[in-house]
Amino acid sequence: MKSVCLLAALVLLFVVADVVIVSGQPATVVASTPVYAPDYSHQFEVLPPGILAWDTTQQTVDATNGQDFARFEFSFTNLAKSFVLAQVTNIVHSTNFTLITNSDFWDVFSGRKYSSIPTVTTRTNVNTITNGAVPAAMAVLSVHPSCGCTTADVPPMPWILPPETNGLIHVKVDLAGKIGMVFKTVTVATEKGRMDLVLRVNIAPPPPPRMMTEAERAAGVAAAKADRQAVFRGTCASCHASNVSGKYGQQLYELTCKICHDANPRASMVPDLHNLKDPTSEEFWRAWITSGKPGTLMPAFSTAQGGPLNDFQIASLAAYLNAIIPSKVPPQGAR
């Protein structure tokens, strides 16, 4: 019985000792990587100068008529600084301190006048504070183009820029349905403030249509008399159906209508749209563009009837014609 008790006591002793040894060991400390926390409180303020150095904040791109996209690239460098306060303590002695001229300083023991003090002994435990600026990281919080046809290619937000590093913002503008000079902006919001990048696109006008020869005109009229939809096939399609994808309004008129209705000379069977004898309206133009007129040379432009234009394109073309060619004949009820 005594041996059993002794054995139990020894086991308990080892267990307790093991607990003491384990508990006496220092806990393992796992250091986590510091996480940069952006400051969102200044993102709607004006970005002060000297924070980001841009190669340019305004760019112009020349585009040809029919070009799909205009592309831009903006480069910048992070010049942000952080200001550090450093405290210096226990200054005991300072030599060659600032000379003081014409101080009327008298030595009371010798009775002589001095014009400078060569050495000054300071008190102990003097605290001074110095101010230093060091390069700092900075976060871009958002990059927003001014409209849906403009997109920016940037890293996920927030975009953390290490000190004194460079960044690139790639932007493209969808030119579908656009003519002339186009302006867009891209707003860059950072934790130090926000600013706008300005984009300008100069879209060249379409080249004038090639004048048809009399033989080509006669062949086209003959084909259209046999099948009014023939203008959308074969060689005729190059003038009446090509390059219409993504075009609207005035661009469509220039590409699909002007070649016949504004031709000089204009074929006698093609009406002058500016001097029609019937009242016109947006619905009038939409109906003619959509279905044309059987038995004439006017084809149906709707894709549902074998033409090249979708409903949105037809609506935009009808609205354009209604705006530039107001009705000159009053409706029947107003006469």
> Do 75 and 95 fall within a single domain?
no
Q: Which residues contact 205 (CB under 8 A, 6 or more apart)?
A: 65, 179, 180
Structural domain range at position 70: 52-79+139-203
Mind giving me the DSSP string for 103-148? --EE-TTT--EES----BPPPSSEEEEEEEEEE--EEEEEEEESST
Report H helices in the chain.
2-24, 214-226, 237-240, 250-252, 258-261, 282-291, 311-324
> Do 155 and 237 fall within a single domain?
no
Q: Which of 179, 203, 227 is the last residue of a domain?
A: 203
Q: Which of 109, 135, 161 is the last residue of a domain?
A: 135
> Do 118 and 179 fall within a single domain?
no
> Do 245 and 274 fall within a single domain?
yes
Report H helices in 157-249.
214-226, 237-240
Domain-embedded: residue 9? no
> Do 57 and 195 fall within a single domain?
yes
Domain-embedded: residue 44? no
> Do 59 and 71 fall within a single domain?
yes
Q: Which two three-digit tokens encode residue 314? A: 């037809």
Domain-embedded: residue 46? no
Cα separations (Å) of 36 from 42, 166, 215?
Answer: 16, 18, 74
Domain-embedded: residue 4? no
Q: Are the C-beta atoms of residues 139 and 31 closer than 8 Å to each other?
A: no
**Eight-class DSSP state of 182:** E
Domain-embedded: residue 269? yes
> Do 305 and 323 fall within a single domain?
yes
Q: Which of 203, 224, 252 is the last residue of a domain?
A: 203
Would you say the pTM of this structure is higher than 0.75? Answer: no
Domain-embedded: residue 31? no
> Do 169 and 250 fall within a single domain?
no
> Do 249 and 330 fall within a single domain?
yes
> Do 266 and 318 fall within a single domain?
yes
Q: Are the C-beta atoms of residues 307 and 242 closer than 8 Å to each other?
A: no
Cα separations (Å) of 174 from 58, 70, 86, 98, 161?
Answer: 18, 7, 53, 67, 29
CA distance 302 to 313: 9
Q: Is the dihedral of CA 295, 299, 304, 310 positive or negative?
A: negative
Q: Are the C-beta atoms of residues 214 and 222 closer than 8 Å to each other?
A: no
Q: What is the pLDDT along the chain (335 residues), one digit of tens a residue?
A: 545 454 445 444 444 444 444 445 555 666 667 788 999 999 999 999 999 999 999 999 999 877 899 999 999 999 999 876 555 555 544 444 444 444 454 454 555 554 444 444 444 454 444 556 789 999 999 999 999 999 999 999 999 999 999 999 999 999 987 888 999 999 999 999 999 999 999 999 877 666 666 676 666 667 666 777 777 776 666 666 677 788 888 888 888 888 788 777 777 778 888 888 888 999 999 998 898 877 777 888 888 888 888 999 999 999 999 998 888 766 565 54
> Do 278 and 327 fall within a single domain?
yes
> Do 146 and 179 fall within a single domain?
yes
Check which CATH number belongs to the domain holding 267 and give it: 1.10.760
Check which CATH number belongs to the domain holding 148 and give it: 2.60.40.10
Domain-embedded: residue 234? yes
Number of domains in the chain: 3
Q: Are the C-beta atoms of residues 9 and 16 closer than 8 Å to each other?
A: no
